[in-house]
Structure 1
Amino acid sequence: MESTMQTSDKTAREIFEEVMANPARSKFGFGEKLAIINVDPQKSYTRPDLFPKTAYITDPNQMTHINTISTMARDKGLPVVWTHVAYMENAADAGVWGTRTDTPDSLQNIKYGSERHAFDDRVDIHEDVDPVYTKRMPSAFFETPLQTFLTWHKVDTLVLTGGSTSGCIRATAVDSLSRGYRTIIPVECVADKHESYHFANLTDLQLKYADVVDVQDVKDWLIAYEG
């Protein structure tokens, strides 16, 4: 049998824009109660001036958008969660993920308490009410208390921000849908190293696992939310 895989001369961005422009595309939609999950907005990934080999900027206003919707959610009594990645000094907790390379920029060399582990100075975290989890694998759910926290708060919708789109955002979105959550990805709030990875994964997320929306859609929902 011959391959039936489609081919195209279009860029990943062009394919994404076509998918998003389709008026017939259906949505999962927002549910009754959301949580904002800010995935790894840490300096290792948000400060290319400090870490040019691992950090990236897609929308220059990403951190502002993250702060805005996080503040709006918090002010309505909705959960706001932050994650970041780090490992022990000997990287014994990095697993096979930490075995491909061993350079100063390698994943397993994001050490607890290091500048790479630190959150971007621009994000506004309220640690008195916002859970902060250090994770070691792509998904924000894997070996963190996130699931039980969301269950306790009767959340049915997750808004994912952070990066990378093709890595930890995608992994978290797949786990989110697999656990029965409506999953929302505001496009201005996620970033990746290359537009090809970014838009190809946004397309796939939109078609299968999540609603990719404008951040204004999240703001509008939060404005209308009455608890």
Structure 2
Amino acid sequence: MGWALIIIDMQEDFFEEGGVLSQKRNILTKNINDLSSFCRGKDIPVIWVRQEFHEDLHDAFLIMRKRRIQKTIKGTIGCQILEGLKKEPEDIEVLKKRYSAFFRTELDEILDNMNINKIIIAGINTHACVRMTTIDAYQRDMEIILAVDCINSYDENFHKDSLRYLSGYIAEILDNKDVIHRINQI
């Protein structure tokens, strides 16, 4: 059984100028590029998970429909992978409609077909999509590493609370240096 790197929601709309995440854009981009490059060098699959909705929001979650929130709309620049991130042709892409990368997507099938039972998670937002994906992976008896240098939220308190909650029984929280060390031991 092997490893995969799952990168969640690193999309332009979430890093809009002036938002809290816009200040973290460069460091997250660098750290994710470093980690994904390392993983590819170790033949660890890299899976990009993107949120994408139709313009009429019929496929969006309830609060988006109620408030007419136009984020990550299909065909817009805002729904694309963040400029500067190095997505390679061999990388896999999964589209999602809810917080968890597992909810009504082909991620389970992809991981099963590749014989993956251990995942490294990177991306945003720690308190929402990262947290839900981590919990769903835990419910599938997967070993999970949260690459803390590659994860963040628009709210620092939500980020810290989520890491504290997930740490220990659900996931291991490691910086890139320790993720690389762990994988090199295999």
**8 Å CA contact retained: 2:71, 2:79:** no
User: Which is greater in Rg?
Assistant: 1
SS state at 2:116 partner: coil
Give 1:166's aligned residue: 127
**Unpaired segments ≥5 residues, structure 2:** none
Q: SS in structure 1 opposite 2:37?
A: helix
1:22-78 deviations in whole A, cap 9, x for unaligned? xxxxxxxxxx52100000111111x232xx458454485211111111111112221
How many residue pairs are counted as aligned between the two chains?
Answer: 186
Match for residue 85 of structure 1 among 51, 58, 64 = 51
CA distance in 1, matches of 2:108, 2:102: 6
For residues 164 and 66 of structure 2, the distance between their equivalents in structure 1, rounded to whole angstroms, comes to 28
Higher strand share: 2
Code of the residue aligned with 2:2 in structure 1: it is K
Instruction: Tell me the secondary structure at the aligned position of residue 99 of structure 1.
Output: helix
CA distance in 2, matches of 1:165, 1:64: 18
Partner residue of 1:99? 65
| Correspondences of 1:6-17 after superposition (within 5 Å) | none
Q: Which residue of 1 aligns with 2:28?
A: 62
Q: Which amino acid aligns with 2:119?
A: L
Residues 91 and 109 of structure 1 are in contact (CA less than 8 Å); yes or no, is this contact kept in structure 2? no
Instruction: Tell me which amino acid in the other structure corresponds to 1:42.
Output: Q
TM-score by length of 1: 0.76
CA separation in 2, counterparts of 1:109 and 1:68? 27
Range with bigger deviation, 187-196 or 52-61: 52-61
Query: Hey, what does 2:7 align to over in structure 1?
Result: 38
Q: Does 1:205 align with 2:172?
A: no
CA gap 1:121/1:59 in 2 versus in 1, 3 angstroms: closer
Task: Give the alignment of 1:104-123 within 5 angstroms.
Answer: 106=69, 108-123=70-85
Q: For 1:163, give the aligned amino acid.
A: I
CA deviation map 1:143-184 (0-9, x unaligned): 211111111111121100000000100000000100111110
Letter paired with 2:82: D
Identity %: 24
Distance 2:77 2:116 in 1: 32
In 1: Cα distance, 2:144 partner to 2:24 partner? 21
Contact 2:101–2:129 (CA under 8 A) maintained in structure 1: yes
Which structure features the higher share of helix residues?
2
Task: Please give the alpha-carbon distance, in whole angstroms, between the structure 2 residues aligned to 1:221 and 1:72.
Answer: 12
Give the TM-score normalised by structure 2: 0.91
1:144 to 1:95, Cα distance in 2 relative to 1, 3 A: same
In the alignment, which of 114, 131, 134 is matched to residue 95 of structure 2?
134
2:16 equivalent among 36, 45, 48: 48
What is the RMSD of the two structures over their aligned residues, measured on CA atoms? Answer: 1.9
Name which of 71, 74, 87 aligns with 1:125.
87
